[in-house]
Amino acid sequence: MTPYIRKAAALCAVLLLALLVNVTRVQVFQSRSYDDNPANRRGAIARYGQPRGDIVVGGRAVTGSEDTREQLRYERTYTNGPLYAPVTGFASQLYGTTFLEHTEDDILSGADPMLAPLPLWNDVTRTLNPGGKVVTTLNAAAQQAAYKGLGSRKGAVAAIEPATGKILALVSTPSYDPAELSGTDSAVKQAWARLNGDTNKPMLNRAIRQTYPPGSTFKVVTAAAALDAGVVTDLDAPTRSPDPYRLPGTRTLLTNEFDDCKDASLRYAFEWSCNTVFAKLGVDVGLDGMARTAANFGFNNRKLKIPFSVAPSNFDTKLDNAQLALSSIGQFDTRATPLQMAMISAAVAGGGSVKAPYLVERTTTKGGGTVSTTGSSTLHEAMSPSTSMRLRELMTDVVEEGTGARAAIRGATVGGKSGTAQHGIDNSGMPYAWFISWAQADDAMEPAVAVAVVVEDAAARRGAISGGGDAGPIAKAVMEAVLGF
């Protein structure tokens, strides 16, 4: 019997060997592919197993993490959620991430190898680092002022530091609280359904993802094109433009809100927003010149990221002269995001160059060690410095004497441009009220802020809508906040 017992024992040894070989296959050779299987929840569990890093505004975290002790353990919390939602976005266990939560996810979740003291160590241990911080360029006071200014109205505000491109405020209303989307319970699903079904689109980031006809605020671009092209050389010389202006090749007559636009000077036309003068100037500059200047300001740029992508603003490059005339006063197919309009204002204030707008000042480890910083960079020289000087003058006049009087700030030089944009079929929609401006404290070397405000409809106030009236005070509040007044 003995040899047979030995052979049976050998069989058991073979079985043991088979087990050991197989677990080695599973645990060593195929482990990576099993780990990466999308149905494997361990990635999500690890991701939510530690507190997410914070997004910082003005030295204070506007996000937080709450330990739920559930499987996906830490939930995102937000302080002043609706105020910062267009910047932070949401970080949801169920619906993923948006905006900074999305683009800075590697830092916030701790997956970024740069967060580790020894980057290669993570490959060995396959663990996450503690979540890092994202320090934004936002000015908390400006953000608050913009949000408060918009109040219950639908609209958006974007504010930029002209010299650098730092985004100081990015507000969209109506807003929502991203905290509602944190977690896994049924309330999150209900909130998701409610927010998506809301006709006011609270999750739409109007400051960067919605384009509007810019209306008269676009006249800054047309003026820059006319000055740079030499179509206008003297701000105070008559422009030889009729009132009303018949759109080239049509019988349509273009009129003005204010009087005395016939043959008005560029200064007067800009101050009082003469449609006829700018329509004609656009045609005089020509499609190429207008399109080039618009593109240099940032129109038709599909790649702009701040670091999340910005909807491209549109200036058509194939237009007949009638369409060009309308496009030159910010109508027809011209559309711009509030951020784009803030970039225009900033370019005027900042000597003619368009800085790449950015929202992330720097990223750090949990302990505060810098991981990366964003530097200022120039996208384009939108106009010559002399043209920018003259546009500053024109915009300053608007606030001092024209339609932008309500944005004036004592102790600072303020330039502005109001706009009222018609839209809808036969212009049936409630007009959009625009105001773009910049401000420089009297004792400062350079302008501190450029801002664009759009109010979608000041319902029941049709006829009285004017960019200066509705949007101007909001811009003023934002500028004062940045100036510290």
Partner 1 sequence: MMQPGMPGTTLAADAPAPAVRLPRRRGIEFSLLVVAVLLSVYGYCAVGLAKNGTVPPGAAGYGAGLGVLALLAHIAVRLRAPYADPLLLPIAVLLNGLGLVLIYRLDLETPGDAAAPTQLIWSTLGVALFIAAVLLLRDHRVLQRYTYVSVVAALLLLVLPILFPAVNGARIWIRVAGFSIQPGEFAKVLLAVFFAGYLAANRNALAYSGRRVWKFKRLQLPTGRVLGPIVTIWLLSVGVLVLERDLGTSLLFFGLFVILLYVATGRTGWIAVGLLLACVGAVAVGWLEPHVHSRVQDWLHPFASIEAGQGPNQLSQSLFAFAAGGMLGTGLGLGHSILIGFATKSDFILATAGEELGLIGLSAVFLLYALLVERGYRAGLALRDPFGRLLAVGLASIVALQVFVIAGGVTGLIPLTGMAMPFLAQGGSSVVTNWIIVALLIRISDSARSQYDGTAAP
User: Which residues are annotated as catalytic?
Assistant: 216
State residue 471 phi and psi, 5-degree precision. -90, -25
393 close to 266: Cβ distance less than 8 angstroms:
no
Least distance between partner 1 and beta carbon 127 (Å): 10
Decide whether 24 or 252 has the Cβ nearer to partner 1: 24
Chain residues in the site for partner 1 (CB under 8 A): 1-9, 11-13, 15-16, 18-20, 22-24, 26-28, 30-35, 37-42, 45, 126
Contacts of 118 (CB under 8 A, 6+ apart): none
For residue 272, what are its two tokens? 């009082």
Provide CB contacts within 8 A for 153, sequence distance 6+. Answer: 173, 455, 456, 457, 458
Q: Which is nearer to partner 1, 5 or 120 (CB)?
A: 5
Pairing between β-strand 245-246 and β-strand 253-254 as defined by DSSP bridges: antiparallel
Q: Classify 206 in phi/psi space as left (phi over 0), alpha (psi -120 to 50) or beta.
A: alpha
How far apart CA 262 and CA 358 sit, in angstroms, is 42
* Concatenated DSSP letters of 228-254: HHTS---TTSB----SSEEPTTS--EE
3-class DSSP state for residue 90? Answer: coil
Name which of 23 and 464 has its Cβ closer to partner 1. Answer: 23
Q: Which is nearer to partner 1, 23 or 193 (CB)?
A: 23
Token readout for 470 is 């509705």
Q: How far apart are CA 421 and CA 214, in angstroms?
A: 6
